[in-house]
């Protein structure tokens, strides 16, 4: 019998609680939505009066300029990155121990204690999945934390010190039944420091939640494990890794080499100044993180894929790559030539698409794309191809795509692909061949959600932006924000035509 098997568990006494934990039945209607996907709810958030945004695989924000679309994009980015900060600097979790009398906190704590006790009793590896009622308690605790810390959280994600951007209500609601699958596991693990003199291996008990684990013991505070479950729930909602492409991405493409050059001119270490320069820029944290990641990209081997081929063959007619020497400058090489050009000497479409191309090539480990105005600098023909790219990304396993857009061309192509998805297999095959599409080009209408942002009419500057969910059918979306303009322009054209 091994040393591990000889270890006998001690009897465990369940820790007392000062409040009776809430039952599953009592919480089944709290923090729940009837929607298919998790839903982000805000009230009086900056310019936005109220919004309930269902976080579908493909989510679009359309509507007026200066209406708050980017506010929600930054909020989504901030929520999805809560896990990146250590506890000391995490505005959401740093005071979580103050909530240890909350019913939701106690229910999660008791669950962890219970499975630890079960493991000690059975004295064998325990593998399980966190049950749905604990996930509901977790989202309840999370929403309490978000609501209490909302002002500090908003200041952090917008890099402001005053109350120029405020929020009255912030909440995440989960669909029921919740289909989240969060693995939990307890097992014995040998200590790093082995007693070599006695030739004896000592073991610790490790609790793994998701893909991260720590030692668990009878006298150990369980707060870190509660935080881990909270983080796992957040990442089930938003995904573990994301790529934020701000509308200012073209400017940073042109600055990339210059800023790295400044770092060298100042005799700074090439790996460190990029972080320092990004942190010194007066930008939102989401944009700073984009700059940090973008400037640290390095030329490595990559695998071609259909999305890269679509962009480089159908949109820029060439290849964008990083030099594998020097400052890793961005280069563009047109097809059918051996000559390449620096990014600053290329067309706007190349500098606009360069960030997406380079991340697809050199850092393709993100699951969520958050992109502002993907149509920038693109002719309508290329906007249609960009819509293809976005749909293909949304169709990748567990991917999510969030965009803001003013492009009716992108919306129309999405509508066409929704219609194509509902054709018979025979008709689909015909249209695939005719228009050079494949199964990843089409998307079911239930995978997409679209929200229209309408600013108040003139003279009502104190009023808030109205965010409306646009209905989608098998024929696609009807986007009034574009239709109203087309009618107005058509009427104007008719007036001029009548005069002629």
**pLDDT for the residue numbered 265:** 43
Average pLDDT value for the chain: 85
Give the 3-state secondary structure of residue 36. Answer: coil
User: What is the mean pLDDT of the segment spanning 37-41?
Assistant: 95
Q: What is the CA radius of gyration of the chain?
A: 26
Residue 221 has pLDDT above 80, yes or no: yes
Confidence band, pLDDT 50/70/90 cuts, at residue 274:
low
In this prediction, residues 408-431 reach a mean pLDDT of 95
Longest dimension (CA), the chain: 103
Q: How many Å apart are CA 137 and CA 103, to the nearest integer?
A: 8
- Per residue in 163-220, pLDDT (tens digit) is 999 999 999 999 988 889 999 999 988 876 555 566 677 888 999 998 888 888 887 8
User: Once rounded to an integer, what is the mean pLDDT over residues 95-122?
Assistant: 94
Strands 341-342 and 400-405: unpaired
Cβ burial, residue 122 (10 Å; 0-12/13-18/19+)? exposed
Q: Is the dihedral of CA 460, 461, 463, 465 positive or negative?
A: positive
Burial of 454 (0-12, 13-18, 19+ CB in 10 A): middle
pLDDT at residue 228 in the model: 93
For residue range 119-173, list pLDDT tens digits in order: 999 989 999 999 999 999 999 999 999 999 999 999 999 999 999 999 999 999 9
| Dihedral, CA of residue 395, residue 170, residue 141 and residue 131, to nearest 10 | -20
Domain ranges of the chain: 247-366
Res 295 pLDDT > 90: no
Task: Encode 22-44: b = buried (16+ Cβ within 10 Å), e = exposed.
Answer: beeeebeeebbbebebbbbbbee
> Which pLDDT score is estimated for 461?
56
User: Would you give the DSSP letter of residue 185?
Assistant: E
Strands (E), 237-329: 242-245, 318-322
At residue 444 the predicted structure's pLDDT band, cuts being 50, 70 and 90, is very high
- The lowest-confidence range among 67-81, 127-141, 316-330 is 316-330
- pLDDT band at 268; cut points 50, 70, 90: very low
The percent of the chain in helix, strand and coil, each rounded to the nearest 5, is 45, 20, 35
Range in 62-66, 281-285, 491-495 with the lowest mean pLDDT: 491-495
Spacing of C-alpha 218 from chain mean position: 36
In this predicted structure, what is the pLDDT of residue 178? 83
- The pLDDT of residue 361: 95
Total-model pTM: 0.86
Q: Which pLDDT does position 17 carry in this prediction? A: 37
């Amino acid at each position: 019998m091994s040393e591990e098997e000889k270890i006998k568990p001690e009897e465990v006494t369940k820790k007392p609680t000062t409040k009776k934990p809430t039952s599953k039945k009592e919480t089944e209607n709290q923090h729940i939505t009837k929607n298919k996907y998790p839903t982000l709810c805000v009230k009086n958030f900056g310019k936005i009066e109220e919004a309930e945004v269902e976080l579908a695989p493909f989510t679009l924000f359309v509507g007026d300029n200066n209406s708050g679309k980017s506010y929600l994009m930054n909020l989504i980015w901030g929520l999805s990155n809560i896990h990146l900060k250590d506890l000391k600097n995490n505005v959401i979790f740093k005071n979580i121990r103050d909530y240890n009398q909350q019913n939701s906190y106690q229910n999660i704590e008791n669950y962890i204690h219970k499975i630890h006790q079960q493991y000690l009793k059975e004295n064998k590896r325990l593998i399980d999945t966190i049950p749905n009622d604990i996930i509901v308690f977790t989202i309840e605790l999370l929403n309490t934390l978000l609501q209490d810390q909302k002002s500090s959280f908003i200041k952090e994600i917008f890099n402001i010190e005053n109350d120029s951007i405020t929020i009255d209500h912030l909440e995440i609601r989960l669909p029921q039944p919740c289909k989240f699958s969060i693995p939990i596991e307890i097992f014995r693990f040998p200590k790093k420091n082995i007693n070599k003199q006695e030739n004896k291996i000592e073991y610790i008990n490790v609790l793994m939640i998701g893909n991260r684990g720590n030692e668990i013991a009878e006298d150990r505070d369980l707060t870190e494990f509660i935080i881990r479950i909270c983080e796992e729930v957040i990442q089930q909602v938003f995904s573990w890794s994301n790529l934020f492409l701000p509308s200012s991405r073209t400017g940073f493409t042109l600055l990339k080499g210059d800023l790295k050059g400044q770092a060298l001119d100042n005799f700074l270490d090439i790996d460190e100044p990029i972080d320092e320069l990004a942190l010194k820029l007066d930008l939102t944290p989401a944009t700073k993180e984009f700059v940090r990641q973008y400037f640290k990209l390095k030329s490595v081997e990559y695998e071609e894929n259909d999305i890269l081929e679509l962009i480089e063959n159908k949109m820029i007619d060439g290849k964008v790559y990083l030099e594998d020497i020097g400052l890793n400058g961005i280069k563009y090489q047109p097809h059918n030539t051996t000559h390449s050009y620096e990014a600053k000497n290329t067309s706007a479409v190349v500098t606009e698409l360069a960030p997406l191309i380079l991340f697809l090539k050199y850092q393709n480990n993100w699951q969520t794309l958050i992109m502002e105005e993907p149509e920038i600098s693109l002719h309508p023909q290329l906007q249609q191809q960009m819509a293809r790219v976005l749909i293909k990304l949304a169709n990748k396993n567990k991917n999510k795509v969030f965009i803001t857009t003013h492009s009716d061309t992108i919306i129309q192509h999405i509508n066409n692909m929704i219609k194509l998805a509902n054709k018979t297999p025979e008709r689909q095959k015909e249209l695939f061949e005719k228009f050079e599409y494949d199964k990843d080009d089409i998307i079911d209408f239930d995978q997409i959600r679209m929200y229209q942002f309408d600013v108040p009419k003139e003279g009502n500057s104190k009023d808030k932006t109205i965010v409306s969910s646009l209905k989608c059918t098998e024929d696609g979306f009807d986007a009034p924000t574009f239709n109203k303009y087309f009618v107005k322009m058509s009427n104007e054209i008719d007036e001029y035509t009548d005069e002629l």
